[in-house]
Structure 1
Amino acid sequence: MTAPDSAVPAGATPPGMRGLIDPDREVALLLDIIQLTATGPEVEPLAAAVARIITEATATDVCFVHVLDDSERALTLAGATPPFDEQVGQVHLPLGLGVSGWVASHRQAVVITERKEADPRYLPIPALRGAEFTSMASIPMEIRPGGLVGVLNVHTVERREFTARDVELLRVIGRLVAGALNQARLHRRLAARERAHERFVEQVIANQEGERRRMAGDIHDGISQRLISLSYHLDAASSAVRDDPGAAAGQLVQARELLGLALDEARAAIGGLRPPILDDLGLAGGLASLARSTPQLELTVDLADHRLTEHVEIALYRIAQECLQNIVKHARADVATLRFGVFDGVARLEVADNGTGFDTAAVAPGHRVGPGGSGGSDGGYGLRSMQERAELVGGRLRIRSRPGAGTTVTVTVPLRGPDMR
């Protein structure tokens, strides 16, 4: 087991050591890689083609291309030579875990000539059948300056000595491929965001229509009926005021009660559209009110009194509301924190709990997940709603969680001059 940078002087091949590729083939291989990087914007086809070309040109037995996922905390298998191509998208490796995770974290190549299981960094992945291969080289794929894109691994069944020249060749290939893979990742992220935005707009329109129907029903069945009854009582009081003052007073008492109920229902309907407390007390006051209305939790609040534009305040308020509701419903937590502030022109909202937590890699964006992490579908848009609310105001939502260790949701929104008021 060797770290390649100290194994052999660059360009030297000691006697008895067979290199990956004949020097005459290096140029042809690099040209193939360069041509391949211009073939299209899809991550998986590009990674698969890279794996195939490398194994064919270097006489290795298998090649795995692991790409940094959008969370930037784990690698995902994006390309592999058959039969392991069936595992593409199924193998996930957190940074720092296994040889590939170590390479990603330290940005250093690793060569293991034999007895991989004796290396403390080695982590068997049953789906990739590592026990069948003796030697391996694992190389970081980076874009300059220092941006990690993924990790490139080659394996051989028979014992293979990887020279310093071999490692440098793989580094060059990794750098060539990294730029194209990074562009493909950005293209996919942008396309996914556009699709999510389209779905969200469709959902918003559908829910606006549903909300209009609900409000029309509430007004018709509640406020309108009470106002009609109020009108009857006022008419009766007007008729009785001369002949039976006592009856008139009774009618007025009932009319006042109906008026109070109608006002309560009107306030509730208005609050569903925009929380009036944001107009009265601002975002900090609204968040403090949310905390007071959640007696099930021991809530610690740290709220700065910064006023933002209306649409940013509503988005952050609704995200906090969704988080607290999820803590109460799903987290089995008894302690939580709610923080809001503006730092260096960025608004930052954080909601954390000490609940059950969850595996963030195993949760699809469509699931209803906030602090506490349990999936559910009892109303609201859940995680996707919070993500899209943040994105619609130019922000970003991050979730940190693991089973048994609670959950922290953080929203950051870069502010421009008009966003502060």
Structure 2
Amino acid sequence: MPTGGLGAHDVHGLVDADREVALLLDIIAATSSGPGVEPMAAAVARMITAATASDVCFVHVLDDTDRSLTLAGATPPFDEQVGRVRLPLGSGVSGWVASHREPVVIISNKEDDPRYVPIVSLRGSDFTSMASAPMETEPGGLVGVLNVHTISRRDFTPRDIQLLLVIGRLIAGALHQARLHRQLSARERAHENFAEQVIAAQESERRRLAADIHDGISQRLVSLTYRLDAAARAVDDAETAEAVEQIEKARDLADLTLAEARSAIGGLRPPVLDDLGLAGGLASLASSIMEVDLELELADERLPEHIEVALYRIAQESLQNVVKHSRALTATVSFTVADGVARLEVSDNGIGFDPGEERVPGTNNVGGYGMLSMAERAELVGGRLAVRARPGSGTTVTVTIPLDVSDPAQTD
């Protein structure tokens, strides 16, 4: 039976005049039940059961692989099976309808039909007659299959099937949009999970390196300073002044190396970020910078860990650029959370640079590796980095990250 070109006007004549407007209103209500596939399919199942005077309706929707159908909506009590029943295309009556894009009517003795595959959880043996119709969008994209069943024998007429096809065509577009929304949401969740995993892996490696430096290099440097002190005490100052001087220089070098190792440990994994959150981490970072007078404007807000880590690293890189390249006397670090957006800004009154030259002063890389690294970190957590600079007018680095307002980390 051809299905092309069906629309709202095709409802006319398939139901009584009094029922026509009510049915169209029911279809509008069902397709307006929200962006979710399951809520919409549930509303569709209830509406079709009433419209066709059947006992139960199953709405099978094509899954995201386009290779099987999943039960997305059903008349109670079968709504408990939503999401649990899957049929490969070509399997069962629904799979056959999906593959051939043609309706099927079985008046009785379903078990004798070679296309029929019993599904215990849907209690097919309780129902005598069934009709199944494809749901398609223009110009013929399959969305799913509608099945209606009756306990008593029913001779489904061509008008009944035409009504199912019309309803299927009218709701297919909305269900297709719901599927696209679900796929987009899944991709967004996958991206967020990927970002968290990447940042977690990076931080895990930083923890390992920090531990290796602390347990290995730092401990050996401490032992070296003890031995140098002992050597200095054992040397006769009057006879070996030169040896004493060299030992003192060696000890100074060991102390300097130990300080650099401890600084590297702090840079690899600052414990204050775990204990005090981003605001505390930024304040601690600022206190370690003596070359520039820093002003802080920090909101006491906790964010998801992977976002806090990303913003901290961006601030760390920005402040290193300020110290190394800007020749600034003062700088400002601002962190705010408002209207579902986290915002970090690091600005200085230094020499600035010309963005058109695509080169950060003091670096050998076009565009500046640090800038690229910061932009990648921001994008990894769904944010955006912007740099405003002009020769003689300083530089401002701004990061904005939209937040999921439902995340519990933002409501503690």
Task: State the TM-score, normalizing by the size of structure 1.
Answer: 0.48
Which structure would you say has the larger Rg?
A: 2
